[in-house]
């Protein structure tokens, strides 16, 4: 996967995926898909709450890719899922601060819901990056995962 596409996916993807998950859950509970104005409003709020965590997520993921993590590896999925859980936790803290009158049990429910959403978003995003990153990335000349018995020039 090329870096510009990966950056777009890392920055814009989490809010869209979270919005889709929430709308799908609402559809299952209410037996109808939310109207377009509800979906648009939810997407705007999703971007509002997820802009900073998405920037941090993209920065950490790109740093890991620069240090040698391969896009097609399961480490990508694992790191993405962990970062999704941390992003969900941070968003739940922001929501809890905004709704100051909430009790401890409300805070626990908010945190649990947003951590689950964060894990799901991180997992989906990690699997997308893994699926869109060809395994051939590791086969470039001079890469540490290459195990050839002949030099590269002789194989061509």
Q: Three-class SS of residue 71?
A: coil
Tens of pLDDT, residue by residue over 50-97, are 899 999 999 999 999 999 888 888 999 999 999 999 999 999 888 888
Q: Does the predicted model carry a pTM greater than 0.75?
A: yes
Distance CA 138, CA 140 (A): 6
Tens of pLDDT, residue by residue over 103-155, are 766 778 888 889 999 999 999 999 999 998 887 445 455 555 444 444 555 54
Rounding to the nearest 10 degrees, give the CA dihedral for residues 10, 12, 13, 19: 150
Q: Helices (DSSP H) in 1-103: which residue ranges?
A: 3-30, 36-66, 74-98
Q: Which helix (H) or strand (E) holds 127?
A: helix 104-132
How confident is residue 20, by pLDDT bands cut at 50, 70 and 90?
A: confident
């Amino acid at each position: 996967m090329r870096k510009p596409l990966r950056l777009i996916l890392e920055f814009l993807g989490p809010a869209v995926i979270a919005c889709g998950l929430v709308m799908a859950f609402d559809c299952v509970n209410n037996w109808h898909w939310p109207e377009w104005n509800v979906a648009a409003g939810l997407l705007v709020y999703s971007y509002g709450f997820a802009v900073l965590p998405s920037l941090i997520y993209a920065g950490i993921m790109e740093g890991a890719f620069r240090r040698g993590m391969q896009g097609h590896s399961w480490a990508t999925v694992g790191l993405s899922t962990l970062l999704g859980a941390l992003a969900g936790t941070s968003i739940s803290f922001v929501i809890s601060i905004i709704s100051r009158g909430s009790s401890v049990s409300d805070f626990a429910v908010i945190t649990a819901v947003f951590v689950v959403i964060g894990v799901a978003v991180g997992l989906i995003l990690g699997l997308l990056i893994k699926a869109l990153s060809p395994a051939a990335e590791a086969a470039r000349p001079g890469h540490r995962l290459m195990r050839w018995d002949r030099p590269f020039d002789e194989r061509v």
